Amino acid sequence: MDASRTPGTFSQRWSRLGPRLLLWVLLISGVITLSSITLQVSMDYRRDMGNLRNALDVIEKMELPSLTVAAWNFDRNQLQAHIGGMLESPWVSAAQLRYGVNENAVITVGDLTHDDPELREYPLIHTNGSVQVQVGRLLVRPNVDEVHRRTKERLFLILGTQIANALVMSASLLLLVSALITRHLHRMAAFARAFVPGATFTPLALDRGSASPNDELTLLQDSLNSAYSRLNAAHAREQRHIEELELSVAQRTEELRTINARLSESEQAMRVLAHSDPLTGLANRILLDERLDRALSRATRHRRDVVVLLIDLNDFKPINDRYGHAAGDDLLRTQADRMRLMLRETDTLARIGGDEFVAVLEDLDPKTDIARVIDAMTTALSTPWVWEGKTIMVSGSIGLARFPADASNAAGLLRHADDAMYVAKRHRRRA
């Protein structure tokens, strides 16, 4: 860039482009008599608005009394005739009459919306002696669009006559602006569209002869070249920053994925521990209560039975005292596995105490299935248990309770089954 185009030199000289454009704009403005057009159109517009207001005054003074009487008499034919007659005026575009009890009778002519800011409302007041009663409302939409349409027509007519006089001057101005400005602006636009950040670009050079005038176009050309150079440098810095961010995000994402996996495993383990017995893997008391409540709810809806079995291992304490806690734990696990094999996947088996278990059974035939399940579990519990090469005889006592025959809630069922189990334990037989 040479010294004659520096910003300091340019600010000390008057732009050559500005005075030339200003001269032609002033010449065209003098030819087109905008002030006279504006005055004439304004006067016509005020006259049309006056006619519109007069039409609304006629409705208020002459139509409202007749509409009030017809609405009072519920004369719908007369009301429709009056409303239709209003729209014969070019100054009314729509009207709506609401009358009757709670204004439930409506007559609408034309396209009318209640949120129209131009909408006029007139109450229909019927005077009966000294009592005034509002019998309805008249909504009128003034035809402001007609005023605007007429104003536009006059404006276009006046402009048409003036345009014919200005064609030669406009054409001359168009050619001049194209030669001095437009073609260079197109060149700048094409340069801007072709610019790709980060790619090598050729500086913009306008075709303005060997001695380019020092005006706004020259300043814009130099500013574009300077701006694109800075954009390229900023783009390079941004790309480096993006690459660093992507690497950092990838590392952090992998760390978060690992943490989430560990958290999921921990949450799953915590859920299992919270709802299961750590020794046998069966459901604990918390999970038993939840499943028993759901079973009772389903049985109530479908009018079915629910069977609760309370199982207690016979002679568990002597075995535990004689052979030790390891033997007792093994016996509990063995008996839990045996009972689990006798039940369905949909049944619930839970350990609720030292050697006490509860089974919740749904959808059983009271005559056949219950006896079959109890017999199977009795047989399984009575299978000899082997500990350190010794065969030990074991058994269990089972108490039974049925919903709704024996109790109507979970606590009652468990108490009834517990009582039945102790009866069976005392008599050494299965309930």
**Of 169, 194, 219, which marks where a domain is finished?**
194
Mark whether 178 and 316 lie in a shared domain.
no
pLDDT at 210: 66
What is the pTM for the complete model shown?
0.42
Residue 110 lies in a domain: yes
Residue 341 lies in a domain: yes
Average pLDDT over residues 376-405: 94
Mark whether 300 and 168 lie in a shared domain.
no
Q: Tell me how many domains the chain contains.
A: 2
**Of 194, 226, 250, which marks where a domain is finished?**
194
Residue 43 lies in a domain: yes
Domain assignment of residue 386, given as a range: 285-427
Taking alpha carbons only, the member of 206, 201, 200 closest to residue 221 is 206
Residue 239 lies in a domain: no
> What's the distance, CA 110 to chain centroid?
37
Average pLDDT over residues 81-109: 85
Residue matched to tokens 């400005």:
181
Catalytic choice (289, 355, 363, 419): 355
- What residues form DSSP beta bridges with 121? 139
Mark whether 182 and 43 lie in a shared domain.
yes
Most confident of 98-102, 139-143, 395-399: 395-399
Q: Output the six-digit token pair for 355.
A: 């050697």
pLDDT in tens, 272-314: 667 899 999 999 999 999 999 999 999 999 999 999 999 999 9
Mark whether 292 and 188 lie in a shared domain.
no
Q: Tell me the C-alpha distance between 182 and 170, whole Å.
A: 15
Residue 126 lies in a domain: yes
Q: Tell me the C-alpha distance between 421 and 79, whole Å.
A: 89
More confident residue, 395 or 145: 395
pLDDT in tens, 308-342: 999 999 999 999 999 999 999 999 999 999 999 99
3-state helix vs strand vs coil in the chain, percent to 5: 60, 15, 25
Q: What is the mean pLDDT of the chain?
A: 83
For residue 329, indicate whether it is catalytic. Answer: no
CB-CB contact of 75 with 60 (8 Å): no
CB-CB contact of 414 with 358 (8 Å): yes
- Say how many CA atoms lie within 13 Å of 275 toward its Cβ: 12
